[in-house]
Amino acid sequence: MPIVNRIAELHSEITAWRRDIHAHPELLFDVHRTAASVAEKLKAFGCDDVVTGVGRTGVVGVIRGAKGGEGSRVIGLRADMDALPIEEANDVPYKSTVPGKMHACGHDGHTAMLLGAARYLTETRNFAGTAVVIFQPAEEGGGGGREMVKDGMMERFGIEEVYGMHNYPGLPVGEFAIRPGPMMAAADRIYIDIEGRGAHAAKPHQSIDSVLVGAQIINQLQSIVARNVDPLEAAVVSICQFNAGSTDNVIPQTARLSGTARSLTPEVQDLVEARLREVVEGTAKLYGAKVKLVYKRNYPVTKNHAQQTAFAAAVASQVIGSERVDAAVPPVMVAEDFSFMLNARPGAFIFVGNGDSAGLHHSSYNFNDEAIPIGTSYWVKLVETAMAG
């Protein structure tokens, strides 16, 4: 089954929605303009119910199929709405109008594609069951998926399965990629506060140098992945910030390191956290410094369910052909808070090709509008196939 004809007709209109969202980026839960626009469109399309304020600023639309009856299925489809605190480098007519903010991850495209699917599904209702379209805030570090689940979304709307999609730079437009099991990593946050003893830079022997201690901690932490984690498993430990001192002739008394740890299994996650504590505390003790480590488990592993993954791959094959669907793509170590929804209900997360674009979270990234009819058709066919009646 190729691209849905009606979706192809709507391509330019969906693109206009996407570019409007792109020009007006909003961060985390502060997606009031985007959420209001989404809710307005869902109501105009004729959704049976439109609920705002789910998980603080999320929007949920309910579309009942014309073939429905008692005991029919309920399937959730999710898109994210928030942008990133990045200054856009692109010179396009729809460039961000908000300094320091841009849609550098393609959530503008995700929202527009799901809106397109909602438009089509409300027009046709050619399915037996209920489609629940989920527009989520705060994917970029705020845990909006967690908040929507905590707000009782799954129970409130009777969602039995849930599906997500993300664009993927480097994957050609017109291709999908998915895998059962771990698809994306757990993302944990690391905060290390070091207290030494400050001194004049000309008298280092009177100090406990917090900069030296921090540097040694950073070096030693690299041994965790290199020498403690099974080489056949995956893990990342990255220290990304080192803050210390205020002038060039004083050894600072304190320093702060922060970073992230990534893993694909609970066993490796436990190992990394345990070794982090041992390495950090042991290194600080070696130099006579005091240290406080805060290890915060943030986003869980995005783990696809086997049955729903096979179904999603089959639907993608209907849209573009099985030869253009990679059903065993290697997992990636970036994270995604759709993981909270997959922990609450069975489902699957799929990548859709964005072509040869800049990478995600890059100031030159831009969602590829040629992917719109492909992703939108996937959503439509997923609903119509799962609930064919």
DSSP string, 40-90: HHHHHHT-SEEEEEETTTEEEEEEE-TT--TT-EEEEEEEE--BBS-----
214 CB contacts (<8 Å, ≥6 apart)? Answer: 192, 194, 242, 244, 255, 257
Cα separation, 292 vs 295, whole angstroms: 10
Cα separation, 364 vs 381, whole angstroms: 32
What's the pLDDT score for residue 69? 55
Distances (CA, A) of 234 to 148, 190, 268, 332, 349: 29, 18, 8, 9, 20
Which among 207, 284, 202, 210 is positioned nearest to 246, based on CA atoms? 210
Cα separation, 126 vs 66, whole angstroms: 6
Tell me, what DSSP letter sits at residue 300?
P
pLDDT bucket at 146, cuts 50 / 70 / 90: very high
pLDDT bucket at 288, cuts 50 / 70 / 90: very high
What's the pLDDT score for residue 81? 98
pLDDT digits (tens, 9 = 90+) for 93-140: 999 999 999 999 999 999 999 999 999 999 999 999 999 999 999 999
pTM here is 0.95
Q: Where in the chain is CATH 3.40.630.10?
A: 5-184+301-386
Computed over every residue of the chain, the mean pLDDT equals 97
> Please, what CATH class does the domain formed by 5-184+301-386 belong to?
alpha beta
269 CB contacts (<8 Å, ≥6 apart)? Answer: 186, 188, 261, 263, 297
Cα separation, 217 vs 229, whole angstroms: 18
CA 173 from chain centre, in angstroms, equals 20
Residue 1 has pLDDT above 90, yes or no: no
Q: What is the share, in percent, of the chain residues with pLDDT greater than 70?
A: 99
Q: Note whether 65 and 126 are within 8 A (CB).
A: yes
- DSSP codes, 312-358: HHHHHHHHH-GGGEETTPPPBS---TTHHHHHHS-EEEEEEE--SPP
Which among 228, 215, 212 is positioned nearest to 278, based on CA atoms? 228
pLDDT digits (tens, 9 = 90+) for 213-254: 999 999 999 999 999 999 999 999 999 999 999 999 999 999
CA 134 from chain centre, in angstroms, equals 14
Q: Note whether 280 and 217 are within 8 A (CB).
A: yes
What's the pLDDT score for residue 188? 98
Is domain 186-299 in CATH 3.30.70.360, yes or no? yes
For 223: left if phi > 0, alpha if psi spans -120 to 50, otherwise beta; the answer is: alpha
Structure-token pair, residue 122: 């409300």
Q: Where in the chain is CATH 3.30.70.360?
A: 186-299
